[in-house]
Amino acid sequence: MNMLSMLQVLLIVLLSTHVDNLWAQNRDDTGAEEVADCQGCHSVPDLTSTDPISGVEKSIGIAQEAYDRSAHGGVDCVQCHNYGYAKLPHHGPVSFPRFLCVDCHRKEAPLPRLELDRREKEIRKSAHDQGKVGRLDCHDCHDPHRFQLVRKSKTALERVDVSNHICLTCHGRLDQRLPGYDDLPDSHTTHGRFPDAMAHFRKLKCVICHTPLDGNTRHNVLLVNEALFDCKACHTQDSAVLKANYWIPSDETHDIANENARQSVRENVYVIGSRRTIVLDALSFLGLFILFLVIGAHSCARYWVYRNKILENSDER
């Protein structure tokens, strides 16, 4: 073997060793930053896989733009997916890990505001803990790759839309659902008994009627026969449901921001219909009084004219 051949062999060995080292780095289970491009596979919109535990087919396609706009937009993949992803594709239970949301969101964690340890107890009491998959976890409803915080919405109507979208991904129209939930009833059909069902969908959160009225246990979704069916609970002048679900400030608060918030709820979200308003009642009675007054005055005038004509005819005779 001449010198040139020896150099070529040595170069190939060195390159192979370097590539192997890079591959080992990029596939290390420690979840280091040097991971392969996750979007190389997960950017496919229709990418699905069967959960080996529940047998449910789930979507594993990640829309990058939607993720960037989501609540987790600034979080790297490996901060949550940090173990068991060395092999491609990810077969087995590692494909659908139970994301430990409480690691960041419990009381003692860096983001305690959500108090997920308390909310988890609500889920365990809810109808969602009795489903066909055995149980639901946070990520089954709040897709960690695209969900947005309801309170970040700019208007009251947007808050309703964002909140209801979570429910409709399983309970909405068949062509808009996540894979694996085709056998659930269509909420648009089951709510057809409402006088204007679409108005309720646009302006009311699903959780208003399907969770307890206290407004503080929104993850305790009730069974159908326990849901709110009393129309008067909303359609009254001083609705406790309205206050519990739309965070209306107390009447003692007079600053402009809070007053605008109250007005936004009344105009844009709360269904205006059969609820009674004292001012509107007074105006209605006033209008009826004026109407009868005009009719009475007109009748009296006609009678007076008629009587005068009779008297004139009598005088002429």
**Prior bond of 110 cis (ω within 30°):** no
User: Is residue 13 included in any domain, yes or no?
Assistant: no
* Summary mean pLDDT of the chain: 71
User: Is residue 9 included in any domain, yes or no?
Assistant: no
Do 71 and 171 fall within a single domain? no
Do 214 and 283 fall within a single domain? yes
What percentage of residues in the chain have a pLDDT greater than 70? 62
- Domain final residue, candidates 97, 127, 156: 97
* Across 36-63, average pLDDT: 76
pLDDT at 288: 94
Q: With bands split at pLDDT 50, 70 and 90, how would you rate the model's confidence at 26?
A: very low
Q: Which residue has the tokens 């639901």?
A: 136
Do 244 and 133 fall within a single domain? no
- Position with higher pLDDT, 26 vs 86: 86
User: Is residue 271 included in any domain, yes or no?
Assistant: yes
Do 211 and 173 fall within a single domain? yes
pLDDT at 249: 47
pLDDT at 22 over 60: no
pLDDT at 139 over 50: yes
Do 276 and 176 fall within a single domain? yes
Segment holding 23, helix H or strand E? helix 3-26
pLDDT at 33: 42
Into how many domains does the chain fold? Answer: 3
pLDDT at 257 over 70: no
Q: What is the pLDDT of residues 92-116, one digit of tens each?
A: 555 555 556 777 777 666 666 667 7
Do 209 and 267 fall within a single domain? yes
8 A C-beta contact, residue 275 and residue 235: yes
pLDDT at 254 over 70: no
Q: With bands split at pLDDT 50, 70 and 90, how would you rate the model's confidence at 246?
A: low
pLDDT at 267 over 60: no
pLDDT at 4 over 80: no
Residue 12 tokens read as: 């190939």
Residue 45 tokens read as: 């919109």
User: Is residue 239 included in any domain, yes or no?
Assistant: yes
Maximum C-alpha span of the chain: 152
pLDDT at 220 over 80: yes
Do 79 and 160 fall within a single domain? no
Do 24 and 79 fall within a single domain? yes
| Residue 216 domain boundaries | 148-299
3-state class (DSSP) for residue 310:
helix
pLDDT at 132: 52
Q: With bands split at pLDDT 50, 70 and 90, how would you rate the model's confidence at 36?
A: very low
- Position with higher pLDDT, 277 vs 61: 61
Backbone φ and ψ for 113, nearest 5 degrees, come out as -60, -35
Segment holding 210, helix H or strand E? helix 206-210
Among the ranges given (2-6, 53-57, 291-295), the one the predictor scored with the smallest mean pLDDT: 2-6
Do 279 and 209 fall within a single domain? yes
Do 291 and 157 fall within a single domain? yes
Q: What is the pLDDT of residues 180-219, one digit of tens each?
A: 677 788 888 888 777 778 878 887 888 888 988 776 678 8
- Position with higher pLDDT, 73 vs 135: 73
- Position with higher pLDDT, 310 vs 20: 310
Do 152 and 205 fall within a single domain? yes
